[in-house]
Amino acid sequence: EDQVTQSPEALRLQEGESSSLNCSYTVSGLRGLFWYRQDPGKGPEFLFTLYSAGEEKEKERLKATLTKKESFLHITAPKPEDSATYLCAAKGYSTLTFGKGTMLLVSP
Amino acid sequence: IAGITQAPTSQILAAGRRMTLRCTQDMRHNAMYWYRQDLGLGLRLIHYSNTAGTTGKGEVPDGYSVSRANTDDFPLTLASAVPSQTSVYFCASSEAGTSGRPYNEQFFGPGTRLTVL
């Protein structure tokens, strides 16, 4: 059975304090690893797709990386507007499996 | 603005009533999906459609039905609502895969918050 586990469940940072979110996955035949941002009361917003180990993608203060067992979302010098829940999802041979998310709070 | 629209935004429904949640996309994506999101359980797939005229069951299909008469619309119907169907429902869509990119990211609508009493 495909599984995606995100850690930590919640993370509180001070503005400018860099950190990383983890997404560990166990899927048969990874076809893609996806990161989303979800604000309260909104739908998930697509951030990145990673297809193979070693791949990296960047967007503003966010950088996503992928290994054969996990993905990291690195947040450099976060700002309060980066506060949200970050979801990762892995696609194997069957359906897309989502993790339960990491709730990030960035304090000014 | 291109994207996915869902209606209604929220709804309170008596148990036993029939309800259809609407979803429309204007991105001409082949594939569409319905998820429910519950606290502590994350996003779970209810039904999906890889192309117009076809549908499939996801992880939690019981009590729900879908149809895909055309590319743009993918309604979700609760035939006889029960309190355990209280949730936030998200519709999503994605482009068909290619040999170079076998699977593409999904884009989500704003959601429908449904309460069944």
A45 CB neighbours in chain B (<8 A) are: 108
Tens-digit pLDDT profile for residues A15-46: 999 999 999 999 988 999 999 999 999 999 99
Q: Do A42 and B111 touch (CB under 8 A)?
A: yes
Whole-number Cα distances in Å, B91 to B1, B32, B97: 17, 7, 19
A vs B: CB pairs below 8 A: 48
Residue B41 contacts A where some CB pair is shorter than 8 Å: yes
Residue B89 phi, psi (nearest 5): -110, 130
- In Å, how far is B29's CA from the nearest CA of chain A? 15
Taking alpha carbons only, the member of B4, B50, B47 closest to residue B27 is B4
Put simply, whether B64 touches A (Cβ < 8 Å) is no
**Which residue positions in chain A have pLDDT lower than 70?**
none
pLDDT at B1 exceeding the cut of 70: no
Q: Tell me the C-alpha distance between A36 and A16, whole Å.
A: 21
